[in-house]
Each structure stands twice: as structure tokens, then as C-alpha cells.
A and B are shown apart, each in its own frame.
Chain A
């Protein structure tokens, strides 16, 4: 029998507050930081103070002699190259955090400096320069431009930003036995964290090594926490050496240096449209950096597909930490380039930006064509909600005085199909239900999702379900990335519960004088569909199991699953800003976010994901930027003082509209809402002040410099 979502849903799609919300606000949720095990040691890492250099001296002996030090190890050796400020060199563990800090300073280390690449521009100029990677599609670029009657040119970009997880990276490592390691890791992938430790060089040889990763709570990952990471394996090695548990959580500056960052992208763009306002040509020369050895995540052209395009990108290296996945990798950057371009082209042609987008939504031949009706609806809804008709004006607010108001919009897409996941559902004769899934709650509400699905399928209430996630000991599920958890976990849990229910029905059917297929579970009862009066309470039905609990396993990969999940969402955002053209300060008046994610599982937390995406998007649009010293490449703002983050007073009003497409099944919503905010805000600023700022974040300097060039 194929597995499907019930037609009539009681729990799915309702507003269910976070089940662990009260624990979190009361400070009772135990995060990795809070695991203060008996005999705990504190680990610290010695990090390079040059961004590029060769280690010429490394001596741990003075540190090993320091008070409280129980284990020390080198990570790099003499002769090795350090490639960014904060690169890991050595580590140790001591009785107290202060002793560990002091001991780190006692390590003798010296570097022979090598010339650092401190900016994308420096990276571009290196000899030989990085080669361009060219993609061309459709008409030859000259032929495409020959069709254009209107062209526009611009320079757009987004700076490197860091993930700034509120809970920094790290873990507590506890060897229960020589072959039994338990880690409490701040991770968005408990299974992969376990695997990364099992496969770690020094541990591979341990026979029958058992590793368990426990992460009941974690404080943010955004794509940067998919494995134990270097600090995790180091903590486990130190713990093994010292035969004591070791806590090694990064400090704030380390989190900025080596916790993860999103690649920059800067693009010189020429685009053309024909007389009917159709985008026909796009020529992009771009560059960006993903760190010392990785590139940008190139996703241009994004959504809109002209008749001919040419993208020439150079991946530039700088002496900084390599990129990590960041919430919708590559997409916010691509959106910032494409949707600013679309605005400039609409301006050049004298077209309304919303109308211009509607006209250029993906058509036949564009793989996103099926999303176009969704975007059309979203653009119209968003325009209505922001007051586009009344508030939009031609570029440059004609109002007197220095405060200029403007509106802007942008659209986005993302996949979000279901990720690999398995789950088990155990029903005991007393009627209690336990659902286990080796997923984790990245903050997106997976802890709450699991009981929602189980309660829906079993006809129970959320309080009747024991949902267990956040441990690699549970049935395997993939990492929480790519907006894949909600889909994968919902399917695995749903199918596990459906299979378990089949067993309950098999036991209950004779008692109800019916066939198992005639039964339904709803409202805490098992009853005959055709004769609802013939029923058993849930407890009565489960009592028929006898002495043995039953367990059923669900797998997202089950071939019998039909239409329960899908991939591909569209979204649109509108931003209303006021810009002070005499100070360069941008104030957000309002953001309207219209988002689609198929079947909404938990309306409250789904909206919460969209709010969170917008908040992060605004912070990135206005404030966040990694600053490297232009000579040394050392990061100048590895803190929360000069690495500026939006606060409540910076956000303005945020209005979220969810579109319901239950027939499409579950689609992830974690990433898409962060994508268009930057572009929409940049367009609003341009609409307000009359000039294109182009590069984000939009700081007072960038606004005033752009106005000065006017």
C-alpha cells in the first residue's frame, strides 16, 4: 500500500510552539558548553598569528611544564605552512580554562613570514592570475546583445561574511572505555560527526571503536557544522591522551577565524532587454573568494534565463579560512547580482521593476518553469502587502529633506527536497509511543516536528509521543543542511508510524470484528471507518499487543512513498527603507516575505524560519562583513563589536505570508528566506537615493561614496 499523508489533517499544519522552548528560555537546556563532566579538562588551540608563513620553531615542552597541563599535541610541524590568521598549530588540555590559556602562550613558536594575499583584488593581481572559468549558453553573447534595445551596466557584490554561530563550534569528548567515545558536539549532523571521528586517522586503528554523538540542543550552524571538525578530533585526541574528558569550544575570535565563512562575489555585469522588456543578454565578469584554496559557489545566472549569457568567473584565493556552506550556498550572492541587475535594467527601460520581473519569470526551457505561477502569485501578494502602487516612485525619492524612502523587491528559489533519514516507532502495550530518529534540531524545530508527524499518523496528541532525536545512536538521518531535514524526517517518521499502526490494526481488527484495512486511528481511538461506534481506545488497542512492544522502522527511501515530499520553492520579498543621505544610515521600515514550502508541517515554526531568514538577511545586507587587514590579511573584526550584527532596533516590521501547496508535499524552508533580502534591500536603497550602491553590506561609507560620485 502506498504511503501518503492523510487527506484530513489534525496536527500537521497547525501552530505548535517549540516543545523545548521553555527549557531553552529557562536555561535548562543542556548545550555542549554545559557538559561539565566529572574530571573535565579544558582544551585550547594555539593558532598562527600570521596569515601566511612557514613554521620554523615549534616546542611544546615549556607548555607541558605549565601548571595543570595534562596533555599537549602538535597539529602542524616545523616546515608546515600556515594559510590564515588563526590556522591551527598545536593544542593542549589543562585543569582550568585559565591554565590552558596561559599554557598556550608558553608554547615556543616562530614563523617565517610569506607574502599574504589580503584581498580579492590582491588575489586577482597575483602572477599568474587565476584563470577565468567561462560558461556560455544559448545565443552567442554578441548575437544576444544584438537583440537588445536597452542595456544596463553595473558592478554588484557581497563581501565575505562569517557564520557567527551564537554557540561556537566545539565539543566535549569523553572516552567511556578505550574503544568507546562519546562526544557532546555542537553539530548539525550527529551521524556525520560520529563518522568523522571514527574515520579520524589516529582512531581508525582502534578495533571495534564505538563513537556516539549526543546533541540534544545546539546553538546555530547555518551550514558550518557538519562534522567533528579539527577542534573536535583534537579534543578527542587530548582526552584519550589525558584519560580525562576534554571540553574544547572555540572562543569568539576563533569562531570568526576558523568557524566558517561565506564566499564573496563581485560582478561587473552588462545586461540587455528587447523592446518588449524581455531579458535577452547577460554578460558577467565576476570574482570572489572562498578562502585559501576554495572558490565561490557560482550560481549565476540565477532564476532569470536570457536568450544568451556568458559568465566568466575567477575564483580568487586569499589567506583566510576556507568557506563553509552557508544557508543556501551561493544563492544570496547570485540573487544580489541578478536582482540588482534586473532593477537597473528595468530602470534603463523605464519599466516597473515588479512588472519587469513578472515578464521575465522562467518560461519553457528554463528548469524552473513550474515555479513561475508561484512567483507570479508571490510578487502580486508582496506588492500589495508592501503598498507598491502607492509607495513606489521612479528612482530617487523626490521628497524634500535628507530622509529618502524607497521600495525594492527580489525573488528566490531553492531545492529543499527530502534528505536521507530513517526513524523507528515503538509502541508499548501500555499505549506509550516512542519515536527515534538520528536527526538533530539545528534550531529549526525538528524536536517539535517529530511528535507532530507521529501524533498525526497515530491519531494521538503531541503530548502522547516521546520524540527522541539528537543522538547518533538513533536510526541514521542525514545532516541538517540544504533544507532537507523537514522533508526527510517527516517521511521517515511518518512511514515508521504508519507501519507500526498497521501492526496495531492487525491486533485490533479481530476485536472489532473487522479487517485491518477497515480501521482508522483518530482522536485517541481505533475505530471501524464505516461504523465509528465500533471502537477501542488507543490504550485498549495497544493492550492487545500482549507483553511485547512493537517497533517499526521507516525510511525516506521507501519505494512505497507517494507524493509526501517534493523539491523546489519560490519566494519573493519586498523591502521598504528610509535612507538618510546626509549620514548614510539606512533604516528598515518594513519587510514583506512571501514564501512557499509545499505542505506546511508546523505553521508557527515555519513562519519562524522565514522571520529568521529575513533577520539574517537584513543583518547581512546592512552590517556583516569580514574585514581583513590589507597588508597582513589578519582579520580585524573577530568579535561582535566591529563584526556588526543587526539588533532588534535595526529590523523594522517583518510581515510573513506562507503560501500553502499541500498537494506538493513537504519542502524545506530553512534556507530560501535568507536569499532575497539583501537584493531587495539594495534595490529599495537605490529607489530611495537614486544611485546604485551595488556592494553589500550597505554601510554609511558605501552610501555616501556612491552619492558623492553621482
Chain B
């Protein structure tokens, strides 16, 4: 690891001021410290956010909740209102890492974590996302775990966040603080798929930090289905989060569906949402929605199987949300 200066920020303003060029923000550290040890990231300054007052709070806000970015995954899962009000989020968080990781990792860190790509953190390869190469070594290499959507983009990594698809499906917003003050934006708009800057997966600028996740009124039905290879401590093969706003006669008024583990950013699938609108949720309509979503998939040489897995995850998430069981 490259030697660095360590600063503990007492406040948001403190943190923002300390996050100058060459500085990175440290939350739970479960991802960042590994990348620093591997020298994927070599910051000159590390700014500790865990010391920022208030970032570890879960507060009621209007009809919903304002969750500090420093709240750990474990703390969120221990909060009965969050678990009950937003099943899609809880079900996504349950599969993150291990108990030890969930005790350290934060919600903000989950949103901002770097890709678990085989090549990104490997010293032996030049990689677009890492910023030391002109092409994506996964594209023609070992891409069994790579993206199946957005693969026309220069980088075919998958996004690390399991929480983000749920937050997008739930229509959550983020509060971001920077030197110019704070702003709010939908989680969906936080992520960017950039052809020109594959190193980037979100809109954060130097000196900006995510401070809060804002969840609206718990409404409708939501669920996440995570397809894993190992039963625990594994990156999802694919996951899907669905939030359904139900109208009369058990018909879906609107649906919001987002996939994870399948693209460089969380992948909202509006085709699937449209396919469900006005329909009753049945295995057939859920499967048809998944068909609509997968029409946009463009798998690589070794990961066609992920289309089937993502299809399954989407279908089951919708069924789980609507009926409490996918079986």
C-alpha cells in the first residue's frame, strides 16, 4: 500500500474540504482497503467519514426515512421499519458479503463501491476502468462473470452494488454534499454509463460525498431476488429488484424493476416494467416481463448463461413482490 495521510472528518464540511485532489473517502473500508493494498487506488490522503456526525443515523423523514450513508448494512438489517417497509432493500442487503463484512460495510459504500471484475483489481492487466489501459481485458478474456447488458460500451464490468437496484426500484433519492453545498437526486441519476470515461460509474465529482439515502413512503409491494453460486459470501450471478404499485383488481398500475450484477451500472429495465403495467402478476406475465427485459441483453463469449439467470431473477422478484413467494 502506498503511504498516505489520514484525516478524520468531524463534519460534512470538514470531509468535503479534505477531499482535494488525490484524496479518497473511507467509510467501512471493506472494498477500499483491498484496492489500496492491491495498489489499484493509490490515494495520497484518506478521509475517514465514519467520524462525521450524523452519518450513522436512521431518521424518520416525512412519510419515509433518511438514512445516513455511514449506516452499516448490519444496522439497516436490524431496523424493523426498514426491513418491513422496504423488503426489496432488506432482501438485497441480506446477501451482501458475510456477517463480518455487513458489520463494517456501509450503505454509502455499497453505492460507491468499485466493480468486482476479475481484471480491474489485477496488477497484470491494463484496464480501462482502472485507468491504466486503452481496452477492456475482460471483453475478449474471461468474461464468465461480466456484463450482459451495455456490452457495446468499452468496459464490460458489472457494478458491485446489491442495494442500488432496490433503491432504484423503490424510487429512492440521494443527498450529495460538496463544496457548493448539498443537492438531491434520484438514485437512478446517480449512476452513469460513460463511453468517454469508463473509470466513472457515478456522478460524484472530486470533493463530493453521498451523505444520505432518502426513502419515500413505504408503499406497494417490493422484493429482490438474488441468484448466487455459493449460498453465501459470493457476488450475485444476477439479481433483480422489483417494486409494484398495485391498482384495483390486483392489476399492476406501475412497476419499477432494476437488475444488478449484469451491467457496469445498475440496469433498470423499462421494457419489463411496461410489459407488466395493467396486468395481473402471474408466472406467465412475470416471465413475459423478463422476456421483454432480456430482449436487450447482449452477452459476451462466455456468459450467455447469465441471461437465463437474470431472467429468472427478474421473474422471481416480480412474483415475490406480488405474491410473497416465487414458487
Q: Which residues of A contact B (CB under 8 A)?
A: 49-50, 85, 98, 101, 401-402, 580, 582-585, 587, 622-623, 627, 629-632, 634, 636-637, 641-642, 644, 646-647, 649-650, 699-701, 704-705, 708
Contact = CB atoms under 8 A, between A and B. Distances in A.
Contacts of A50: 124
Nearest to B308: A704
Contact of B141 (A85, A584, A629): A629
Name, among A587, A629, A632, the residue most crowded by chain B CB atoms within 10 Å (CB to CB): A629
Q: Name B's interface SS.
A: loop
Interface in B256-307: 302-305
Nearest to B311: A582
Interface of B: 1, 116, 118-119, 122-125, 137, 140-142, 144-145, 227-235, 237, 302-305, 308-309, 311-313, 327
Contacts of A700: 227, 229, 237, 305, 309
A632 B116 CA distance: 20
A630 B142 contact: yes
Contacts, number: 91
Contacts of A584: 229, 237, 305, 308-309
Given A623-B229, A623-B230, A647-B233, A701 B305 contact: yes
Nearest to B303: A701
A627 B142 contact: yes
Contacts of A580: 312
A701 B302 contact: yes
Given A644-B229, A699-B229, A49 B124 contact: yes
B2 to A, nearest CB: 9
Nearest to A702: B305
B228 A585 contact: yes
B4 to A, nearest CB: 12
5 contacts: A85-B124, A623-B229, A644-B230, A650-B232, A708-B305
A634 B141 CA distance: 11
B309 A631 contact: no
A91 B1 CA distance: 18
Name, among B124, B235, B237, the residue most crowded by chain A CB atoms within 10 Å (CB to CB): B124
A630 B125 CA distance: 12
B230 A646 contact: yes
B19 to A, nearest CB: 25
B305 A705 contact: yes
A49 B302 contact: no
A637 B118 contact: yes
Given A49-B124, A50-B124, A642-B116, 10 more contacts: A585-B227, A587-B231, A627-B118, A634-B124, A636-B118, A636-B119, A636-B122, A700-B227, A701-B305, A708-B304
A627 B123 CA distance: 15
A623 B116 CA distance: 17
Nearest to A251: B37
A49 B229 contact: no
Contact of B231 (A630, A634, A650, A705): A650
A46 to B, nearest CB: 13
B123 A49 contact: yes
Contacts of B312: 402, 580, 582-583
B265 to A, nearest CB: 21
Contact of A629 (B142, B227, B311): B142
